[in-house]
Structures are given as C-alpha cells and as structure tokens.
Amino acid sequence: MMKPDFIQRLHDAQNISDSMVCVGLDPDLNKLPESFHVRYGSPQSAVLAFNEAIIQATAPYSCAYKLNAAFYESLGSCGFDVLKTTVSLIPKDKIRIIDAKRGDIGNTASKYAESIFGLLEADGCTVAPYMGLDAVEPFLAYEGRAVFVLIRTSNPSSDQLQSLIADGKPLYAHVAHLAFTWGEEFPGSIGFVVGATNPTELRDLRNLYPGTPFLIPGIGAQGGSIDAVASAATPNGLVLVNSSRGILYASSGEDFDKMAANAARELRDKLNHAVNSHAD
C-alpha cells in the first residue's frame, strides 16, 4: 500500500479542485504568443510570464502540475532557475511533479534525487527503471515524495520493449510488480506512469494495483481514451491525467490563458462525467 502522507496530499488536492487534471508545463518558445517575444527582454522572462499566467488560469481546475525538464534545460544556463521559480509559483495545495525520466545509478541517481526533491522541492518525479532498483532507490529515500516509474508508456515504439514476453508475461507487467514491491520497502512512495493509449493494459494494471497512483499521459494530442482513464479511476483508483499541449496551446493569441482555463475545465468536466458514469 502507498504511504498515507502522499496519498492524503493527493486526495486533498483532488478534492479541493474536484479534479484529476494534471497540467503539463512544457513551454515551447516557438509556440508562445508573438507578443511575448517583443514584450519580454529574454527567453527566460517570457517563459516565466507564460507559465505564471497558465498556472493562475488553470489552478481552479487542476490538482497537479508536471514540468518536463527538457523544456527548461533547452533554455541554457538559466533553465534550472526558470524551472525552480516555476515550481515556486504553483500553489502549495497542488502536486508538483518533475518529469525528468531519470534512470542512472549510484551517486548520479542520488544527485538527481537531491536536485529534484531537495533543490526544486518537488512532490514527485518520473524515473526510468531499466537499470533496476539501483536507479530508483535514491529517489525512494525521500519520505512523503512519489516516484512515478515508467511502466506502460504512450509513445508509438513502446511495444519494442514493454510488450516483450518473459516467463509468460509482458515485460511491463514484471516492471510493475517490481516497482510495487520497491514501494513497500522504502520511505518514498511508488506511482506508475501508464498511458491512456493502452486501455486494456491500463485496466489490467489498475485491477492488479488498486491503491497505486497512476500518472496518465496520452490524452488529447496522442488520442488517449477518456473512458479508459475513467475506468482506472473507479471506484477509488487515484489518477493524475496529464494534458500539456491541449491546455498550454489552446490558443496562440492574447487570450491564451483564458483558453487554457477553458481547456482545463473542459477536460476536468469530461473526466468527472465519465467517472460518474462508470460508478453508476
């Protein structure tokens, strides 16, 4: 069973907003409104202003934010400061996840964990488990934080490895079992990254791990099923449904923040309706 402190915080965040929506803060300079490139003197200032506007607009309709580290690292030497400042702009009653997909071992993994949970003060992060427990354990040393392990991802070539059959089961099923046992052994909490584009696997994993929080990408631009997500959230399954491009770039004009709010609210309402329909 997951540690109650993170579970409680996630429950509280979802209850406050009546939402399971996780907004992906993946700012692409090429997609920011044109006026930002004139109004702000530097790329980092433009990104921070954009992120702050998105956070303020979507906070009533979301329970979490996921920041993909690549979009900040690409800003250069200032990227880490932009990432850290953005995390600090997110309301404290929201879950803050760094999507870095770290997957190294030993001192390297320890330093990655220190950066994400220490310096950035994030609530959760994504980790690639290909190198085994050595790559995950340093993150699990942080009590009250969640480590979302890549289990069944939504990218097109995921089948090349994740669906390989070993001892009669697909590889992702073995990874899920291992990750669940790791969560039982260490202070931190384990979550699963499971894509909405694989509804059968999503349902099967939920049945096997009813108390494990799922971070679910693939809704929107990748064509994932809201109905499948709803089945994973019923009756008590905790899910964080991530949407990045569909919310951030709902409009390329000056109304980008209002349209982002509309997109977040619409996704929240669709998910809630689907969950309620499954519960009936």
Decide: 78 and 40 in contact? Cβ < 8 Å: no
Which entry of 3, 84, 101, 258 is annotated as an active-site residue?
101
Distance, in Å, from the CA atom of 67 to the CA atom of 87, rounded to the nearest integer, reads 8
User: Closest Cα to residue 187, out of 151, 149, 142?
Assistant: 142
Burial of residue 167 (number of CB atoms within 10 Å: 0-12, 13-18, 19+): exposed
Angle (CA) 182 176 136, round 5°: 40
Q: How many CA atoms lie within 13 A of 249 on its CB side?
A: 13
101 among known catalytic residues: yes
Decide: 144 and 5 in contact? Cβ < 8 Å: yes
Query: What are residue 27's DSSP bridge partners?
Result: none
Active site residues: 101
